[in-house]
Structure 1
Amino acid sequence: MRRKVKIFVYPHDMNDPYSNIYRAWETVPTGNYASEAYFKQALMKSSFVTPDAAEADFFFMPVSITRARIDKRVGTEGVKQFCQKHVTAVRKDWSYWNRSGGVDHFYLSCHSIARTAMELVPEVRHNAIQLVCPSSYHLHYYITHKDASVPQIWPRDGNTPEAFRSRGNCRKRLAFFAGAINSPIRLQLHKEWGNDDEIFVHKGKVTFPYSEGLLTSKFCLHVKGYEVNTARLGDAMFYGCVPVVIADYYDLPFADILDWSKFAVVIPHLNIPLLKKTLKQITPAQYARMHQYVLQVRKHFQWHSPAMEFDAFYMVMYELWIRRHTVRNSLQ
């Protein structure tokens, strides 16, 4: 993959008043939507990029939906029109979109607004590869296996926690969740388990460091809020906690590559009343294997600048790599 995949990044005019929406971040990315910034930053520093569009396997549309949204000249209401103008310019100025119908083109966004950002450009939604965080089977604009799920990950300073703090036998609490009760599923979770002495479900912020809850629990709950995705999956694995996913229709990140059944528990929201029974049915030996897998795969859920082997950037690149045959067949 590293030797063969070539990506052409559509250039932008540095004098364009909207060039900030297209260029890579110059500083270390921050915030809840940092995945988008990390990917673009890592890509532009990588050997995958080629200046020769004729040899490219894929074409990257570098429009930042996150930056467009916070730009007062565009804003949330103008994102759809801005994306439409970008794709129109690509089709007008370059021949590669029309050659393929867009099947070898992709963009990446880790903001919830990405679910409708390309609403005015149906050929993107139907043909191009959408690398997004709001990756739900239930979304009309998301097509599983054509599109791909990208993890929403908070930036991290330093290495993962020390091994002795990550060991499963140091975890005395059965399960942990803390966050806003902003969805019917979270409301049900809090109603069912909010006063339990083994499953800790806290409404809002906890009074102790959030990391302590992750380090001292066997299972960490990822429960659908406004969207199926949050940064909690990355949080759990960073601190060596086995994720429990309660978010129906969630196309889990890197599901084309990783076997989530080995390191996570996926529970339909209708089974929330059975949560404790389900977790307690997992034997100590089974849990130890799951926990070990968590420690093995968590490197795939971290961003670095520049990118490091097997990190989230290379996982996204591998998602593109396994789609190359579909793209080639479409071009024949």
Structure 2
Amino acid sequence: MGKSSVYNASKQQYPPTFKLFFFFLPISLAITSFLLIFIYIYTTSKLSTDPQSSPFLEPATNYSLFDLLIPGSTDYETIQFSIDNTAEDLFFDLPRTSSYAKQNQWSLGDLFGFTGNTLNNTEIYHDIDVFLEDYKEMNKSFKIFVYPHKPDDPFANVLLPEDYNPEGPYTSELYFKKALFNSHFITKDPNEAHLFYMPFSILHLRHDPRIGPEKLQDFVKDYIFNISHKYPFWNRTGGADHFYTACHSISEIAMDKTVEAKENSIQLVCTSTYFVTGYFPHKDVSLPQIWVKKHDPGTLVSSKRNRLAFFAGRVNSPVRAALFKHWVNDTEIFAHFGGLETNDGKEQLRSKFCLHVKGFEINTARVTDALHYGCVPVILANHHDLPFTDILNWKSFSVVVHYMDVPVLRKILQGISFEELSWLQSNVMKVRKHFEWNVPAVDYDAFYMTMYELWLRKSSVRV
């Protein structure tokens, strides 16, 4: 009887409606999921492409970039796009009116923490004890081998240090080389070296009529070929313990014909943007771009700073275009197109905040100029790997603002309390010494800070 019951149960027939339910259930769920995914993709794509649905992400390609500037103005130069311009740059736009700040309490930058919130960031070093301990060890034991070149070398002008103090915005690589050649870090014994320095100057190669931008890549390729065949050090690590310096933006393409060098060697460059290929923050070093000033500004008393913010420069990027569009006629943010007839330093001395706005390239000497004149830097340059970030807490002496917060820039700066501004200015005075080139080099100046960054990147395994 038990056997017969089991057999009969297995043969039990279900009604047709029950079978249809189990047949259509998975199909219905699949169709519903597909429709939900389709609706989600459609609505989110509309959000990023429909100008009416987002006040920040209107495509700039719908109209001339001149529309970002002052209505009726025809004197502005064509906005160029650099080799590091991203989709964010090419489709960058902001609200056509500055009333957005009145309509919304928060900007998109607030939501993601990009607006320069300075609370609880009063310490200028990430860890002062670790830094001082490592700095002492670096001074004691760090060794660099420089590939030797004679004064009668045909390219001695690009391989040997200057016998004078260079001038201009791209001379950081020249000051570094000069300081290194006269430092105690140099060793003539390559077997005790931690790193190897390739002393060619990208800046001089660019201006040398025998090389120029057209033959720069070939020169670098031939140079690495020569040292890798004459010496054994490059081949031991594939160039991973080698480095070179460059401040001009043309350095971004200098290694294009030597992929091994581009991927392995340490680059000390001013164009330190981690959004494009070729720069690796964990490997490369952000070299500060410093325009050495002949005179000290003297008194930097903050009580005389009666202007909220200052910027002067060319309109050569969508971000700068947006800045001028919103603030060119403002009474508190002084935004001036082109260079000033007077020295920029006078304007920075009377301003509380000085703007670094990404132009044709991400790098500029405006940050270090601001520090030189005791003005709190405002960083409007997304993806900029700022100098000495392994050591310094930039939020303790600067304000980092996202591109999309340009329309509410004044509100952000005015929202910084007197107490916060006071310690920002105080910390600016403390970090100034780290952004100065001295001849000869002085402890904790730009040279020694750069050497410390190299010290952090030296190989932990000796070959």
Which TM-score band (shorter chain)?
over 0.9
Q: Give the distance between the partners of 2:432 and 2:260, measured in 1 at CA.
A: 35
How many angstroms does 1:208 deviate by?
Answer: 3.2
Q: Does 1:173 align with 2:307?
A: yes
SS of match in other structure, 2:139: coil
Q: Give the distance between the partners of 2:173 and 2:285, measured in 1 at CA.
A: 14
What residue in structure 2 maps to residue 282 of structure 1? 416
Q: Give the distance between the partners of 1:101 and 1:235, measured in 2 at CA.
A: 38
How many angstroms does 1:158 deviate by?
Answer: 3.8
Q: Give the distance between the partners of 1:258 and 1:106, measured in 2 at CA.
A: 22
Amino acid at match of 1:269: Y
Q: Give the distance between the partners of 1:15 and 1:34, measured in 2 at CA.
A: 23
Q: Does 1:135 align with 2:269?
A: no
How many angstroms does 1:167 deviate by?
Answer: 2.3
Amino acid at match of 1:253: P
What residue in structure 2 maps to residue 38 of structure 1? 175
What residue in structure 2 maps to residue 228 of structure 1? 362
Return closer, same or farther for 1:21/1:209 CA change in 2, 3 Å cut-off: closer
Q: Does 1:295 align with 2:429?
A: yes
Q: Does 1:270 align with 2:407?
A: no
What residue in structure 1 maps to residue 24 of structure 2? none
What residue in structure 1 maps to residue 145 of structure 2? 8
Q: Does 1:241 align with 2:378?
A: no
How many angstroms does 1:12 deviate by?
Answer: 1.6
TM-score for the superposition, normalised by structure 1: 0.96
What residue in structure 2 maps to residue 122 of structure 1? 259
Q: Does 1:110 align with 2:247?
A: yes
Q: Give the distance between the partners of 1:42 and 1:242, measured in 2 at CA.
A: 28
Q: Give the distance between the partners of 2:327 and 2:363, measured in 1 at CA.
A: 21
What residue in structure 1 maps to residue 195 of structure 2? 58
1:193 is aligned, of 327, 331, 334, to 327
Q: Give the distance between the partners of 1:47 and 1:233, measured in 2 at CA.
A: 30
Q: Give the distance between the partners of 1:322 and 1:158, measured in 2 at CA.
A: 33
**Identity value in percent:** 47
What residue in structure 2 maps to residue 21 of structure 1? 158
Deviation readout 1:17-70 (Å, 9 max, x if unpaired): 112110101111111111111000000000000111111011000011111110
SS of match in other structure, 1:113: helix
Q: Does 1:257 align with 2:391?
A: yes
Q: Give the distance between the partners of 1:328 and 1:92, measured in 2 at CA.
A: 25
Aligned residues: 326
Q: Give the distance between the partners of 2:148 and 2:341, measured in 1 at CA.
A: 48
- The unaligned stretches of length 5 or more in structure 2 are 1-137
- The unaligned stretches of length 5 or more in structure 1 are none
Give the conservation status (yes or no) of the 8 Å contact 1:152–1:234. Answer: yes
What residue in structure 1 maps to residue 111 of structure 2? none
Q: Give the distance between the partners of 1:245 and 1:158, measured in 2 at CA.
A: 25
How many angstroms does 1:194 deviate by?
Answer: 0.3
1:151 is aligned, of 288, 292, 302, to 288
Q: Give the distance between the partners of 1:208 and 1:156, measured in 2 at CA.
A: 15
Write out aligned runs for 1:179-218 (5 A). 179-218=313-352
Amino acid at match of 1:236: A
How many angstroms does 1:95 deviate by?
Answer: 0.5
Q: Give the distance between the partners of 2:350 and 2:400, measured in 1 at CA.
A: 21
Worse overlay, 219-228 or 95-104: 95-104
Give the conservation status (yes or no) of the 8 Å contact 1:115–1:139. Answer: no
Deviation readout 1:102-153 (Å, 9 max, x if unpaired): 1111001011101110111111111111000000012210001210101111
Q: Give the distance between the partners of 1:203 and 1:280, measured in 2 at CA.
A: 23
Worse overlay, 310-319 or 206-215: 206-215
Deviation readout 1:252-303 (Å, 9 max, x if unpaired): 0111111001000111111100101111111000000000000000111110
Q: Give the distance between the partners of 1:125 and 1:258, measured in 2 at CA.
A: 27
